């Protein structure tokens, strides 16, 4: 894997901070829920940026409260909400790019492509597996 230059990393970090603020304040699309920008990967020529986001406050909490909603249905609702949020962000990418160009002093403002970051969900799953293994180990020892 190629080493990322310090300038590219600085631009990626700045894009992450600015996009997090812009999505929160400027994007008024109701499909975009509580979105958190987890990371940004910028190409070496600064022409493209892959923006990884997670969707907070998904349907899990509401589905647990709603009578008659099964866990599988809640998972499907979560997936639909995530897809809708990422689709809305990708449709607002040009608008966000315009706002970024006004805030940043770059010759070329990268074209934005939004992706769902599954690493947070994988981390939660692994953490739950570890917690379950510890609980089972405690049961066997006592």
Percentage of the chain exceeding pLDDT 90: 49
Higher-confidence position of 57 and 100 = 100
> Can you point out the beta strands (E) in 12-123?
34-42, 48-56, 111-116
Span 40-85, pLDDT tens digits: 999 999 999 999 999 876 544 444 434 555 556 657 778 888 899 9
State the pTM of this model. Answer: 0.78
Q: Residue 13: count other Cβ atoms within 10 Å of its Cβ.
A: 13
Question: Which residue shows structure tokens 């008024």?
Answer: 28
Kindly report which listed range (9-23, 71-85, 122-136) carries the lowest average pLDDT score: 71-85
Given a cut of 70, whether residue 123 has pLDDT beyond it is: yes
Tell me if 78 sits within 8 A of 58, measured CB to CB: yes
Integer angstrom CA distances of residue 55 from 37, 48, 70, 82, 102: 9, 22, 21, 6, 26
pLDDT winner (highest mean) among 76-85, 94-103, 129-138:
94-103
- Domains, the chain, ordered by start: 6-141 (3.30.300.20)
pLDDT attached to residue 37: 94
């Amino acid at each position: 894997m190629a080493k990322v230059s310090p300038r590219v990393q600085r631009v990626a970090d700045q894009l992450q901070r600015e996009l997090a603020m812009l999505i929160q304040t400027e994007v008024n699309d109701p499909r975009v829920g509580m979105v958190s920008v987890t990371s940004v990967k910028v190409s070496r020529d600064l022409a493209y940026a892959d923006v990884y986001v997670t969707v907070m406050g998904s349907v899990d909490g509401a589905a647990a409260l709603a009578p008659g909603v099964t866990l599988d249905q809640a998972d499907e609702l979560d997936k639909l909400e995530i897809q809708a949020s990422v689709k809305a962000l990708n449709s607002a990418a040009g608008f966000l790019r315009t706002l970024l160009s006004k805030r940043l002093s770059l010759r070329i403002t990268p074209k934005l492509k939004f992706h769902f970051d599954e690493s947070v969900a994988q981390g939660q799953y692994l953490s739950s597996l570890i917690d379950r293994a510890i609980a089972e180990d405690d049961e066997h020892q006592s």
